[in-house]
Amino acid sequence: MMTPQVITPQQMQQILQQQVLSPQQLQVLLQQQQALMLQQQLQEFYKKQQEQLQLQLLQQQHAGKQPKEQQQVATQQLAFQQQLLQMQQLQQQHLLSLQRQGLLTIQPGQPALPLQPLAQGMIPAELQQLWKEVTSAHTAEETTGNNHSSLDLTTTCVSSSAPSKTSLIMNPHASTNGQLSVHTPKRESLSHEEHSHSHPLYGHGVCKWPGCEAVCEDFQSFLKHLNSEHALDDRSTAQCRVQMQVVQQLELQLAKDKERLQAMMTHLHVKSTEPKAAPQPLNLVSSVTLSKSASEASPQSLPHTPTTPTAPITPVTQGPSVITTTSMHTVGPIRRRYSDKYNVPISSDIAQNQEFYKNAEVRPPFTYASLIRQAILESPEKQLTLNEIYNWFTRMFAYFRRNAATWKNAVRHNLSLHKCFVRVENVKGAVWTVDEVEFQKRRPQKISGNPSLIKNMQSSHAYCTPLNAALQASMAENSIPLYTTASMGNPTLGNLASAIREELNGAMEHTNSNESDSSPGRSPMQAVHPVHVKEEPLDPEEAEGPLSLVTTANHSPDFDHDRDYEDEPVNEDME
């Protein structure tokens, strides 16, 4: 049985840098993390119960007088343990279902994804084993001297690093030898009333007390069995404590994993100060959405530093994903063709890496045309003056704060050259708008580099749909609404999802846009009303997705465009 191991941030980083993430692998990662989250949710819930239980046990030890309380404690013990098992079963089921979907197959020999089972080994089988050990050992304890193994085993198996080994060993004696009275005649009525036919420790005619599995014909006999075999005695108490240790250990592990996950999330979610942070989520996304063979290990969308323009990659070491903010100040004619040929969804890229682009003088991996379009589409009225476009460039990209003459010329050149940009006379002067149809028409050639990919996407989402479905399913399982995450809680997943959708839409457009090919002479008016034809799915996504969220957060939505970089760079750059 393979237990998915949570990968450390370092490992994650390694994976990302090596570009070894195939779509499947990405899914595996996702699912693993989500399995963890599920686990966590369950644990959270049971933790409270455990605390309560512990509290009452303590009270009991101090003054074990009131039988009623004891009853409750006992009942809770039972319920607690049962739920714990249930939880573990749930996890198992979750993992199994993932496996069944083929999502949990991790390539063997993949060093970046260590597969050693959790040291804690908290799978039901082992738990059962543990319980049996404890149980049998207890009886052995009374007969032979063979008692040590159980608890030793427990400690080594359950709590390799448990802080309270001693308490585990000592407490049972301390408490059980003491004041715990054993029998409570009222238990039946209580549990009978409360749980009648759905006793947490009774199911399918079998006692579900850990390690018991005694067959009970009916509920009455089960209750009898429960009272006789699992009364509140030394053994039961010991078992309970062991179980508590188990839970504690689980929680410990969970806390660790949670922390790890958090670190991963935050790490991957763009810190412009950290060189590696920004582009990586993008990589994740792009490698999935493009379904490029992972082995290709292409730099994907990653912006190269102007000083290292050699496209053919400097692979793992520094190349694509690592963007150092140093050594970026070399300027001059760099005839690099960055372009968005990798077909990365521009809006999500910019959104995700906004801080990075703002601060690092990295050339964005998109063509002027794409950037201009983005600037225009971001604007509230989908139209900008030339100067406003300039401002957007300087505002969004540190790279465009130098060499103004060059890139401004390029912007103007692009505006004039490309049909997709339509100049519209306005009251205040002229503004530029985007003719989406025209813009999309020019894109197919980019993606055509991978015809099989197109086919895949074309053939009714042969690829994307399963991925999306898997994403949705797993998110639903964790009560993470897919379509709200982009703007709410879970930025990474949200961005991922939105990027996937965007990519999907984009691909569909490409394959569809042929039909409306020969555009009738475009009139400015045509562009003034943004052409929505088959844009519906794409437009709201790009315009009001994460990107717009970001931008509105950064500057007021109205027209007070910040002129931060308007003046200085122009002057400075006239070197």
Partner DNA sequence: ATTCAGATAAACAGAG
Partner DNA sequence: CCTCTGTTTATCTGAA
Residue 563 Cβ, how far from DNA at the closest point, in Å?
A: 13
For DNA, which is the closer residue by CB, 118 or 386?
A: 386
- For 66, phi then psi, to 5°, come to -80, 115
For DNA, which is the closer residue by CB, 231 or 334?
A: 334
Residue 457 Cβ, how far from DNA at the closest point, in Å?
A: 17
CA pair distance 285, 29, nearest whole angstrom: 13
SS (H, E, C) 104-125: CCCCCCCCCCCCCCCCCCCCHH
**Is residue 244 within 8 Å of residue 54, measured between CB atoms?**
yes
**Is residue 18 within 8 Å of residue 113, measured between CB atoms?**
no
Residue 440 Cβ, how far from DNA at the closest point, in Å?
A: 11
Residue ranges that bind DNA, judged by CB under 7 A: 309, 311-312, 332-339, 341, 366-369, 385-387, 390, 403, 406-407, 409-410, 412-418, 423, 429-430, 432, 442, 445-446, 448-449, 570
Q: Which residue, 103, 483, 451, 445, is CA-closest to 291? A: 451
Q: Within a 10 A sphere around the Cβ of 176, how many other Cβ atoms?
A: 19
For DNA, which is the closer residue by CB, 192 or 442?
A: 442
For DNA, which is the closer residue by CB, 333 or 520?
A: 333
For DNA, which is the closer residue by CB, 195 or 423?
A: 423
Residue 414 Cβ, how far from DNA at the closest point, in Å?
A: 6
For DNA, which is the closer residue by CB, 169 or 424?
A: 424
Residue 371 Cβ, how far from DNA at the closest point, in Å?
A: 8
Residue 429 Cβ, how far from DNA at the closest point, in Å?
A: 7
The amino acid at residue 518 is S
Q: 356 burial class (0-12, 13-18, 19+ CB within 10 angstroms)?
A: buried
> How crowded is the C-beta side of 212, counted as CA atoms within 13 Å?
25
Residue 503 Cβ, how far from DNA at the closest point, in Å?
A: 17
For DNA, which is the closer residue by CB, 207 or 437?
A: 437
- What is the DSSP annotation of 381-393? TS-B-HHHHHHHH
Helices 279-290 and 234-268: angle between axes, nearest 10 degrees: 90
The whole-angstrom distance between residue 574's C-alpha and the CA centroid of its chain comes to 46
